Structure 1
Amino acid sequence: MTDLRADLTGKRALVTGGGAGIGAAIALALADAGAEVVITGRRERPLKETAARSSRIAWRVMDVTDEAAVTESFVATAPIDIMVANAGVAETQPVAKTTLEFWRHVQATNVEGVMLCVREALKPMVERGWGRVIIVSSVAGLRGLRYGSAYCASKHAVLGLMKCAAEEVLKTGVTVNAICPGYVATGIVERNVENIVARTGMSEENALAALRDANPFGRMIEADEVAAAALWLCGPGSGAVTAQAIPVSGGQV
């Protein structure tokens, strides 16, 4: 029987937004499986803190909205076998109050930044005959959320990007998939709670409960649970899985 445990010894991974939350959890999981991991982000401090947790993790400051910086980073860290496009912003506004400036701000990171990283990752992977591209989307990419038009649109957009990229690299040994988490116990949820309190006057406890209850199984998702899905997509037995949006959402669809 095939050993289905992921052994990523000899593989090199790049994880954007890897300093905290889901990105940090994925980076640590990949490193624990033997991969050499480079994490990127805009803030040096969380990158250093996460890298200090594993001898297999290095860090690099990179803003995914800066095309030249993205290209330079992929050249400097090559070869990349696994690319996790996790960097994103989770800012919301009602449609009626959404300015074009706000809309473009969200799309710049959540869509254009993902596109740049996918673009830079794919060609070298195809040339080597193996690669894993994982986009961290959201259940917001599968449904609509009140006050979340810019965010939901961005997360829907990267699922379209994922499906197109996957089609383009069929039969090359490269897979492209997305993970769609529900509400995960990270700093982003903490900021969501603050926004709900400010917008509605709801207590912090009730705001957190509302987000928790949006996950049908009645608890917050842990970042390690999202990381486990990413690790599986990199391991043996996952080669037939491509062009898929995989919810990790406690039953939320």
Structure 2
Amino acid sequence: MSGGGTGIGLACAEALTRAGAEVTVLGRREAPLRAAVEAGAAAKLLVADATAPPELPGFAILVNAAGTAVSLPFLKTTDADFRAALDANLMTAVSLSRAVLPGMLAPGYGRIVNIASTAALKGYAYVAPYVAAKHALLGFTRALALEVASKGVTVNAICPGFTETPLLAESIQRIAAKTGRDEAAARAELAKHNPQGRLFQPREIAELALYLCSDAAAGIHGAALPVSGGEI
């Protein structure tokens, strides 16, 4: 479980743990990972850079929930912004999938769930690096799915709309600072993207991830499943 210390990743860890899985949360920051373990959301923690993980044998489930975003007009972005977005949102999933896939293929069973975004399905202004990286993550999901389709491993992407996470909280603060709006107004502006008029909760995405990791979802493969309230 990458990104398992906060937000959607933490909610996914909690859901899988409740379902009886022995969850390992992985990330570069030890404090939130340790807090997740101490709270009972996970059994183990692994402090590591997900783009260069250690050997990870024996995992039947991988949820790639790591990610980050910056908000800038395109002409103020740099190549480094795009590389950082690709590293955080794409290469973490690529590297971890490469690390765990042999251990799934050998017994002929595995589940890989990539937490993408509605930004993998459409464009948003002022977040070009993030949109590009999430589109790439969805392309990777579909390509890998075809490679392993007959081998007992499923690979899917969940594409949430704006969700109440620390990452979104940072975005709201930036919007408020740049526009002079208060945070409530900035939050309401983001909620307008959802036809239901609200922000999503991490547990909503986690419950879908849990289903995709179950035997009942064996026929769902190479899918991009929006949690968007009808936006997509």
Structure 1 position 46 matched with structure 2 position 25: no
Give 1:125 shift.
0.6
Question: Could you say what the CA RMSD is over the residues aligned between the two structures, in angstroms?
Answer: 1.2
Deviates more, 1:172-181 or 1:55-64: 55-64
Deviates more, 1:173-182 or 1:104-113: 104-113
Structure 1 position 204 matched with structure 2 position 183: yes
Residue type of the partner of 1:47? L
- 8 Å contact 1:48–1:59 — kept in the other structure? yes
Give 1:73 shift.
4.6
Inter-partner Cα distance in structure 2 for 1:184 and 1:148: 16
2:135 aligns with 156
Residue type of the partner of 1:54? G
2:113 aligned counterpart, secondary structure:
strand
- Measured against aligned partners, the alpha-carbon deviations of 1:123-174 in whole angstroms (never above 9, x if no partner) come to 2211110000000000011000010100000000010000000000011110
- Measured against aligned partners, the alpha-carbon deviations of 1:18-74 in whole angstroms (never above 9, x if no partner) come to 001100000010010000000011111111111112275211111123x2xx1x151
Deviates more, 1:87-96 or 1:56-65: 56-65
- Residue in structure 1 matching 2:8, options 1, 4, 22: 22
- 8 Å contact 1:167–1:243 — kept in the other structure? yes
Inter-partner Cα distance in structure 2 for 1:55 and 1:212: 28
Inter-partner Cα distance in structure 2 for 1:112 and 1:80: 19
1:57 aligns with 43
- 8 Å contact 1:62–1:73 — kept in the other structure? no
Unaligned stretches of 5+ residues in structure 2: none
Residue type of the partner of 1:218? G
Inter-partner Cα distance in structure 1 for 2:165 and 2:18: 21
1:3 aligns with none
1:209 aligned counterpart, secondary structure:
helix
- 8 Å contact 1:27–1:57 — kept in the other structure? no
Give 1:201 shift.
2.1
2:110 aligns with 131
Inter-partner Cα distance in structure 1 for 2:43 and 2:69: 26
- 8 Å contact 2:13–2:41 — kept in the other structure? no
Give 1:105 shift.
1.3
Q: TM-score, normalised by structure 1?
A: 0.89
2:146 aligns with 167
- Measured against aligned partners, the alpha-carbon deviations of 1:206-250 in whole angstroms (never above 9, x if no partner) come to 101011121211111111100000000011321011000111122
Residue type of the partner of 2:4? G
Inter-partner Cα distance in structure 1 for 2:46 and 2:99: 16
Structure 1 position 112 matched with structure 2 position 98: no
Residue type of the partner of 1:82? I
- 8 Å contact 2:120–2:131 — kept in the other structure? yes
1:237 aligned counterpart, secondary structure:
helix
1:214 aligned counterpart, secondary structure:
coil
Change over 3 Å in CA distance of 1:166–1:138 after alignment to 2 = same
- 8 Å contact 2:55–2:99 — kept in the other structure? no
2:125 aligned counterpart, secondary structure:
coil
Structure 1 position 213 matched with structure 2 position 192: yes
What's the % identity of the aligned pairs?
39
Inter-partner Cα distance in structure 2 for 1:56 and 1:209: 33
Deviates more, 1:193-202 or 1:130-139: 193-202
1:63 aligned counterpart, secondary structure:
coil
- Residue in structure 1 matching 2:221, options 215, 235, 242: 242
- Residue in structure 1 matching 2:119, options 130, 136, 140: 140
Inter-partner Cα distance in structure 2 for 1:230 and 1:174: 15
